[in-house]
Amino acid sequence: MTAGPLEGITVVALEQAVAAPFATRQLADLGARVIKVERPEGDFARDYDDAVNGMSSYFVWLNRSKESVVLDLKTPEGIEAMRGLLARADVFVQNLGPGAAERLSLGYEDAKELNPRLVYTSISGYGAGGPYSSRKAYDLLIQCETGLLSVTGSPDAPAKVGISIADIAAGMYAYSGTLSALMQRARTGEGQRVDVSMLEALGEWMGAPYLYTLYGGRPPARTGAAHATIAPYGPYDCSDGTVYFAVQNDREWQRFCAEVLEDPAVAVDPRFATSSARVAARAALDAIIGEVCARMTREELLRRLECAKIANAELRDMGGFAAHPQLDARDRWRLVDSPVGQVRTMLPPVTAEWEHAMGAVPALGASTERVLQEFGLNGFPASYPHEGDETRQNRENRI
């Protein structure tokens, strides 16, 4: 295995919560040095929960392989130290509130003057300009504003997606946008600004229902775990449980009828002859499929589906995912260090010739003294947590 492709790249991250930490953790996975600048009380995601031996599950997920440096940006000394870090960085990632970076004299123009080669990546809720630019944005609210809740849930009630999908979308585009800007810098020698809004990131992922509604004349229905515009696609009850399967095209539809339903006549029934027809006649179709499935056990239905090469799945909970035989067979789990001991986490999903970093989750301020001295930024306040200190989190979460 070779070193990561971003080895030698230094990222300074003035970040909190999910979106920016997700972007910078992926940069760290590729070998970048990520210096996470935290306020004296720490990234508030450290306190979202205490499920991982006293640490936040969010923080553990998002912050491995980073160095934590504490700076008080309410003081001139803190701002000066921050500017010193940016002067020698390759990338700056920030997701402060609207206008906060500019008020701290850490906006793009300020940073560009310090370091013309700097890639300056900003993540916001709604982007600069427009009537929503100053609004606060959280994941659920962006799910609402992009219409995601209108197409998610049961016919009776909308439901939020169970993960921070708006934050994750923004983090993914910040990550890919930063990589693209670094590639362009390799050609031009100049940095640039990369702006990502949560609204536009998740809005991009809403492209299919948007187009379906705009040109189809009606929005996709909320159909619970079933697909809104493809049928059969979703959960079906057997005599001893539920199986999920999906039929994607007419060739699969004919095999499904012949080998799973054991009734080829259903395939040529005019009500179900095309994908759109099957969606329009979903109730009648589900009744036919449900009657057949109810006579089978889950094991029997899964066997028929596999023989017919119809995609299928069991509904797993988090324990089932953690013990997934495919992930075990592919050796996808690793242990990483943290202030509360080793934690089990999954390798990044891209497999290539380089080795992913998989470094430790940092204690608050663990690298403050070492990093500031390395950058020639001496004289920081002694009250800052630094390497060797037993920080608040360590004291509270001893194991």
Q: Which residues are catalytic?
A: 167
**In a 3-state reduction of DSSP, which class is residue 94?**
strand
Q: Which of 243, 323, 327 lies closest to 289, judged by CA? A: 243
Q: Is the peptide bond before 349 cis (omega within 30 degrees of 0)?
A: no
CA distances from 190 to 90, 193, 267 (A): 10, 10, 60
Q: What angle do CA 304, 308, 309 make, to 5 degrees?
A: 115
Exposed/middle/buried for 388, CB within 10 Å: 0-12, 13-18, 19+? exposed
Q: How many CB atoms lie within 10 A of CB 346?
A: 12
Render 115-137 in DSSP notation, one character per residue.
-TT-EEEEEESS-SSSTTTTS--
CA–CA dist 235, 213 (Å, integer):
25
The DSSP symbol for 386 reads -
Cβ–Cβ under 8 Å, residues 360 and 341:
no
